[in-house]
Structure 1
Amino acid sequence: MKIMDMLRGGKRTETRADDASRNALASGAGGNSNAGAYVDAKSAESISTVYACVQALSESTACLPLHVYQRTAGGDRERADGHWLSRVLDRPNDWQTGMEFRESQTAAMLLHGNAYARKETNGSGEVVALHPMHPNRVTIVRLDNGRYRYDYTDDHGKVLRLLQGEVLHLRDRTEPGSIVGKSRIAIARETIGLSLSLRQHGSAVFGRGARPASIISNEGSRDWTTEELNSIRDRLESYASPANAGKTLLLNKHMKYQTVGLSNEDAEWLTAMQFSVTEVCRIFRVPPTLVAELTHATFSNITELGLQFARFSLQRWLTCWEEAIAHQLLGTVSRGRYYAEHSLEGLLRAQPKERSEFYASGIGAGWLDVAEVRKLENLPARDVT
């Protein structure tokens, strides 16, 4: 056995077919890998490591508090919980909470490269709702004026044409001159395809292979009757009971007991499966420890790996949300006064001893006071009267 042998446009609406094909390619339309497996977002997510990486990033992004702030005249800031933006981020539509909406949209970016939501506005131009649209049903067309149109096909096959300002579009990295995010699944199709082929191979081998845990061979000249063989089998199977664990096994004359271990091919398959876990983690830039791959985890480095996840893996998606909110939901004037920002303190918080030393040095140097420390630690304000 050889285990290792085993990714929308144009200038005018007239070029719609070209636009559609490029959009489909960039957003992760399915295709066959060289390993023979069909790879698209759905099949890729069936791989446990892909699912775990997507969940680690989307869940963490969605669960972090996202607050709207107002810049004050003195250069400081204050929470603006009563602003319409805060309300729509907390409850974007009638069937999703803010956490559910951000989780699903972040997952769409990770799997398809793009996430779309139709903006519903009131008479004042304020966004009152955000309605998610499946990436596979959206085609982006570049218009003569240089702006873009989003064509969305609904559940009934009807095409809804939306202007650029009517859609919240979040995306992964784009090619120069394009606004369509590139799907990581499509870019890494061969890596994902290999993981799928390895899994299919293992399922086939273990599903069809007759592989007992042990073998008893008859090395004598006598043939055993069916009754004698059944008696021997029943006696051997009784040793699977916990009560008989560790007891001495007595065999009849000329009988040889032999355990069946992993073959070299099985060991090679397991090594390849382990390697595929690391490869998928590289695609999403997620530390393997976050997907329960603890081969290289130690007591001293696992905390640092968690901090690296917040600083280097998660930051890209948090910034994507914050900048999209600023430039696609807020107008030019409002953008100068209001902004949305995630609260990362919980993820970046150090151990109690380190926090205590940090606060003590800040209070001692005069740039931090006890009230600010209590606020950072989510403690109630202390009554000094």
Structure 2
Amino acid sequence: MDAKTAMNYSAVFSCVRVLAEALAGTPIMLYRKKETGEREVRNDLSVYDILHNQPNVEMSPFNFKEMCMVSLNLGGNSVSQKLVNKYGDLVGLYPYEWPKVDITRDPITNKLVYKIRDINGGKQLNLARDQVFHIPGLSMDGVVGVSPIEYLSSAIRLGLSYERFGVNFYKNGANSSGVIEYPGALADTAYERLKKDFAKSYQGLANTGKPIILEGGAKFSQLAIKPADAQLIENKKFQLEDIARIYRVPLHLIQNLDGATFSNIEQQSLEFVMYTMLPWFKRWEENVNMQLLTPLERKAGFYLEFNISSLLRGDMQSRAMAYAQGRQWGWLSVNDIRKLENMPPIPNGDIYMMPLNFTEAGKAPSTTESAVPEALAEETYKMMTRR
């Protein structure tokens, strides 16, 4: 089974789309870890501009990451050519469709060779390992990922067969199909006329419900079973769950809300980030840092990481409660909160507060050390609510 056939099945298409868009919509950030252990946000390396602004002249960062995820979830691998300038510096990435890529080992050097077929007028491009950005998915050997649609093609074929059956079931007008009985034999001309007239006037979904007019004592006996009797709907739902299980996607994300409630959808969405997307983010981060950063850049403390805070954001009320606790216990300032909400900093917004009755263990409270002027508390509140 090939990727295009698998994507004709709505469950596969939906799961791949959810995974691809979830990762593509998450920004990847460049950080540098200082000797003190703190980290700072940076944007001064070319790899940041490539992954955050422009991978190549034809794709946006969203389209690039989306295509790579589609290749990973259909073929088990994502392969992009590293674009370099005349000095050998990385200036871009260009992904190739996985069906066009063959990965082999050179029999002499035993190094990986990436053969890209059907490019530049049907020509083949051979690339060495250090010329490509390769992300393998689930792998048996740790080098080349396995294709989900190849290993689980039987489940996908079964789902496709249910969809085709459903289309034909209604297309052929099963609600009015049956047997026409005549008391005697029909002449060839009368038989052909009856068959042509019946197909034209009564067969098909558009003609469902029309009364059937018969001549010469003929009787019509309906034989078709209903979709529910054939367990078509139940089987399609089971197959949908099977595909969602393969890709580890919650059913409500592919528009199956059976048994869904407000509370369990929220929990399932959190589990989707933790158990489905987090491994994908980690797989990307490690391969990006290993293949797109130079040893000197890694030694200097640079690394790239997805900012998944947007995926973990709750509703406004939940965020406000979390911010209030952080502000109360002294580990969030006004500007910290405003930054999380994409708001600009304000003057004197970096003050950290703490409860008045806090003191060191075994030490008598000191009113002079812990007192906070009422005016300062009032001013802090104004800074928190100022936009």
Q: CA separation of 1:157/1:296 partners in 2, compared to 1, >3 Å: closer, same or farther?
A: same
**Is 1:378 matched up with 2:342?**
yes
Corresponding letter in the other structure for 1:58: A
Give me the whole-angstrom Cα distance separating, in 2, the residues matched to 1:97 and 1:300.
36
Which residue, 121, 130, 134 being the options, matches 1:169? 134
Which residue, 129, 142, 166 being the options, matches 2:92? 129
Which residue, 313, 324, 332 being the options, matches 1:349? 313
Q: What does residue 7 of structure 2 align with?
A: 45
**Is 1:204 matched up with 2:194?**
no
Whichever of the two has the greater Rg, that structure is 2
Which residue, 44, 61, 64 being the options, matches 2:23? 61
Greater CA drift, 184-193 or 79-88: 79-88
Which residue, 77, 85, 97 being the options, matches 1:114? 77
Q: What does residue 27 of structure 1 align with?
A: none
**Is 1:327 matched up with 2:311?**
no
1:98-138 CA distance string (max 9 Å, x none): 11000011111001111111101124432101111121121
State the 1:43 CA deviation. 1.0
State the 1:270 CA deviation. 1.1
Give me the whole-angstrom Cα distance separating, in 2, the residues matched to 1:319 and 1:342.
9
- Structure 2 counterparts to residues 271-350 of structure 1, below 5 A: 271-336=234-299, 337-350=301-314
Give me the whole-angstrom Cα distance separating, in 2, the residues matched to 1:303 and 1:53.
18
Q: CA separation of 1:291/1:265 partners in 2, compared to 1, >3 Å: closer, same or farther?
A: closer
- Secondary structure of the residue that 1:300 maps to in structure 2? helix
1:312-366 CA distance string (max 9 Å, x none): 1111221121111101111112123211111111110123333233222222322
State the 1:204 CA deviation. 2.0
Give me the whole-angstrom Cα distance separating, in 1, the residues matched to 2:280 and 2:132.
19
Q: What does residue 225 of structure 1 align with?
A: none
- Secondary structure of the residue that 1:301 maps to in structure 2? helix
Q: What does residue 144 of structure 2 align with?
A: 180
Give me the whole-angstrom Cα distance separating, in 1, the residues matched to 2:36 and 2:133.
32
- Secondary structure of the residue that 1:79 maps to in structure 2? strand
TM-score w.r.t. length of structure 2: 0.73
Q: Is the 8 A contact 2:112 2:129 kept in 1?
A: yes
Q: What does residue 36 of structure 2 align with?
A: 74
Give me the whole-angstrom Cα distance separating, in 1, the residues matched to 2:103 and 2:140.
14
Q: What does residue 56 of structure 2 align with?
A: 93
Note the residue ranges of structure 1 that are not aligned, 5 or more in a row. 1-29, 31-39, 214-239, 241-258
Q: Percent identity?
A: 32
Q: Is the 8 A contact 2:227 2:233 kept in 1?
A: no
- Secondary structure of the residue that 1:152 maps to in structure 2? strand
Greater CA drift, 161-170 or 365-374: 365-374
Q: Is the 8 A contact 2:174 2:224 kept in 1?
A: no
Give me the whole-angstrom Cα distance separating, in 1, the residues matched to 2:118 and 2:295.
31
Give me the whole-angstrom Cα distance separating, in 2, the residues matched to 1:181 and 1:102.
17
Which residue, 98, 104, 113 being the options, matches 2:67? 104
Q: Is the 8 A contact 1:191 1:279 kept in 2?
A: yes
RMSD: 2.6
Larger RCO (alpha carbons 8 Å, 6+ apart): 1
Give me the whole-angstrom Cα distance separating, in 1, the residues matched to 2:57 and 2:310.
29
State the 1:264 CA deviation. 6.4
- The number of residue pairs the alignment matches comes to 305
Q: Is the 8 A contact 1:116 1:168 kept in 2?
A: yes
Give me the whole-angstrom Cα distance separating, in 2, the residues matched to 1:146 and 1:361.
57
1:198-230 CA distance string (max 9 Å, x none): 1122222222234259xxxxxxxxxxxxxxxxx
TM-score w.r.t. length of structure 1: 0.74
Q: What does residue 359 of structure 1 align with?
A: 323
Corresponding letter in the other structure for 1:174: S
Give me the whole-angstrom Cα distance separating, in 2, the residues matched to 1:194 and 1:324.
35
Give me the whole-angstrom Cα distance separating, in 1, the residues matched to 2:102 and 2:297.
30
Q: CA separation of 1:301/1:82 partners in 2, compared to 1, >3 Å: closer, same or farther?
A: same
Give me the whole-angstrom Cα distance separating, in 2, the residues matched to 1:266 and 1:42.
32
State the 1:267 CA deviation. 4.6
Q: Is the 8 A contact 1:142 1:148 kept in 2?
A: yes
- Secondary structure of the residue that 2:242 maps to in structure 1? helix
Q: What does residue 158 of structure 1 align with?
A: 123
Q: What does residue 139 of structure 1 align with?
A: 102
Q: Is the 8 A contact 1:106 1:317 kept in 2?
A: no
Q: What does residue 201 of structure 2 align with?
A: none
- Secondary structure of the residue that 2:262 maps to in structure 1? coil
